[in-house]
Every structure is written in structure tokens, then in C-alpha cells.
Amino acid sequence: MKALILSGGKGTRLRPVTYSTAKQLVPVANRPILYYVIDNVVEAGIRDVGIVISPETGDEVKRAVEMYKTREVRFTFILQEAPLGIAHAAGISRDFIGEDPFVLYLGDNLIGSGIKKFKEKFEKDRPDALILVKEVDEPRHFGVVTFDEEGNVTRLVEKPKFPPSSFALVGVYFFSPVIFEEIDRLKPSWRGELEITEAIQGLVDSGKRVIAEYLDTWWLDTGKKDDILEANRVVLDEWIKRDIQGKIDERSIISGRVKVEKGALIENSEVRGPAVVGSGAVVKNSFVGPYTSIGNFSHIENSELQFSVVLDGAEIRDTRGLDSSIIGKRSRISGKNDRRIRLFVGDDSVVEF
């Protein structure tokens, strides 16, 4: 089996951060989202991985993948010239897939489990498609699936105004190569894209076997700012263990599950977990509250923040009350304030109070 990871698109819902980086590379607990996807693929035993990239961020994605520490996997990069839909991305990858079954995995999706058990189910039962579904509160934002009384997939519709069910398609799909026959028949939807939901519907309508597996863990589609903060919270809460490798002076307090990476320095500060302080970062005379990740070589001084994501090289000085914020790479936040602040700041920005 092969894997096809989608890491293209323009990430418009995550701007301004995605003006200068791919949305799949936005860090959660100081690791790019894409790395968690690759983790799941590798843990499932898949060693031949295609990654669909865009012209705008493709080189950055390539560099990030090169830094992913594994020699077990062969990566192939496939350029999607324009964001014309998930089915389009799969279609242009046909030469890479060949006659092999494959898992199609959206590179900005995080799930609370691996995919190995779903891969084994697909290989054992040999359907034409295996889709993952999850019951959600706002299904109109997703592809929606309906079932008959026996649990068979009957209908799939993309982002319906009036959802026919509350079951959403999770961004992980297992296919046999027969899916390409349905992709060839597609025409652009009202969104101007080739919809994977319509391709799967074609399988259902032509009598092909499509089965659904219910995801019983959490699932996060990290397309917007609050999604990133929630993903950071969940990953820190469930996967981070206490690991102190950096330098902590005797005036500092480290409480709970805090990861302080090698080369980090914490002086006269409190870091309350779950939290991560990246390599080379400095936290001085400050409070870093729970569910916060501090990027590599960032500098936090005379400040207070919590429930936030601070990217590499950012500086926060003399600022208190920072909460539920995303601070872009190499940005500078400074100035005194007396109230709670929420910021969403792109790379290389300056904010002064």
C-alpha cells in the first residue's frame, strides 16, 4: 500500500500565518502538523509516500520533510499547480499510485489514534473504498455521509447548507485504484473543485463496495486559528510528558507536564504544564501558563501568556495578559497593558502597546 498526503492549497483561512508558510507546517506542540500525519503513515507500515505540494509553499514542505528523521520511507513530491480539489490532487498522482491501493490523507488533519487498524481492515475486507466518519456538531462545514438502516453508505455531499446527517468525513480515505475511474468522470463543483465526495458517491452509485469506519477518538481539521489552538491544547494534554533537558535556575518553578528542550533557558519564571519550551528559547521573569508552546529560539521576558502558540524566533517583552494567541515567526510583541489580549499575528510582525 502507498500513501498520498495532501500538503498543497493556499491556507486562506489561516492567514496571516499562511502568507509565509504552508498550513500543514504550522506547529502544534512545536512540531509541524504534517509530521503527525507522517507519523501515522509510518506507524501503519507504509513506506512509499507521495506528498502533493503547491507552487507557493512546495519548497518549504520539501525542506520540512527532509528534516523528518526517518530513512525508512521514500518520499515522492507531486506538484498541484492550483488548488482544484482533493479529487484533483488524487487524479494528478495516478502515475505515483499505479495499480496499488492507497490511503489518501489530508495533511492538515489530526486524529487521536493511528491508522494501522483501518489499514488492516481495508486489506482484510478489500472494499473499493474505506472512509472514516465522525459525528460532529457542525456538519455543514464538512463532507457529510448518510447511511441506510443496515449501516450501508448511501449518500455523500460536500459542505451542505442543510446537512442530511451529523456524520462528517474525516480526512483519511482508503482506496483501490478504481477510484480513478470515478475521478475521470467528475466535473468541477460550484466551488470550482473536483470533489472527493462526488467520486466516492460514484463508487456507491455504480455498485462498488464502500464501507465506513467510525472514528472513536478526537479529530481536528486545523484550518482556522481556533482549530490550531485547540489542536495545541489536545496534543499537549494527551501526548506531552515531563522532560527537562534545558537549563532551569533555582528561582524558577516548573509544574506539571512540561517539556523543556535542549538549549532552552528558564530564569526566575514559572512554567505551568502542559507546555513546551523549544530549543534555544529563553523565558525570563515571566509566567508561561498551561496549553502553551514556545517555539525554538523565542524570547519571553517580563511577560505572561497562556493557551497560546508562539512560533520560532518570536519575542514577547513586557506584555501581560496574552491569551489564546498565535504569534508568527520572528514577530515582536512589546509594551505594557492592563487587560487580557488575544492576538493572531503573522511572521515578521511588530505589535507595540
Which tens digit of pLDDT belongs to each residue from 101-140?
999 999 989 998 899 999 999 999 999 999 999 999 888 8
Question: What's the whole-number mean pLDDT along residues 156-178?
Answer: 93
pLDDT range class, residue 220, cuts 50, 70, 90: confident
Same domain, 71 and 179: yes
Position 18 pLDDT exceeds 80: no
Same domain, 137 and 187: yes
CB-based contacts of 173, cutoff 8 Å, min separation 6: 103, 104, 105, 129, 130, 131, 132, 196, 200
Domain end among 206, 235, 264: 235
Q: Which of 20-24, 32-36, 60-64, 91-95 has the lowest mean pLDDT?
A: 20-24
Q: What is the pLDDT of residues 38-87, one digit of tens each?
A: 999 999 999 999 999 999 889 999 999 998 877 789 999 999 999 899 99
Same domain, 268 and 323: yes
CA dist., res. 340 & res. 331, Å (int): 19
Same domain, 250 and 146: no
Same domain, 178 and 266: no
pLDDT range class, residue 20, cuts 50, 70, 90: low
Question: What's the whole-number mean pLDDT along residues 238-247?
Answer: 94
Domain end among 235, 262, 287: 235
User: Where in the sequence is the domain holding 52, given as residue range(s)?
Assistant: 2-235
Same domain, 250 and 136: no
* CB neighbour class for 165 (10 Å; exposed up to 12, middle 13-18, buried from 19): middle
Question: What's the whole-number mean pLDDT along residues 274-280?
Answer: 97
- Residue 209 vs residues 17, 145, 297, 334: alpha-carbon distances, Å: 41, 15, 51, 58
Question: What's the whole-number mean pLDDT along residues 162-167?
Answer: 91
Same domain, 171 and 292: no
Question: What's the whole-number mean pLDDT along residues 311-339?
Answer: 92
Question: What's the whole-number mean pLDDT along residues 205-220?
Answer: 92
CATH code at position 319: 2.160.10.10
Which residue from 313, 262, 307 is spatially nearest to 288, judged by alpha carbons?
307
Question: What's the whole-number mean pLDDT along residues 152-158?
Answer: 90
Same domain, 324 and 193: no
Q: How many domains does the chain have?
A: 2
Q: Rounded mean pLDDT of the chain?
A: 92
Position 11 pLDDT exceeds 70: no
Same domain, 115 and 26: yes
CATH code at position 207: 3.90.550.10
Question: What's the whole-number mean pLDDT along residues 325-329?
Answer: 94
Question: What's the whole-number mean pLDDT along residues 213-234?
Answer: 87
Q: Which of 11-20, 54-63, 197-206, 329-338 has the lowest mean pLDDT?
A: 11-20
Same domain, 97 and 138: yes
pLDDT range class, residue 14, cuts 50, 70, 90: low
Domain end among 217, 235, 253: 235
Same domain, 185 and 252: no
Position 158 pLDDT exceeds 60: yes
Predicted confidence at residue 21, as pLDDT, reads 75
Predicted confidence at residue 259, as pLDDT, reads 97
Same domain, 12 and 159: yes
pLDDT range class, residue 293, cuts 50, 70, 90: very high
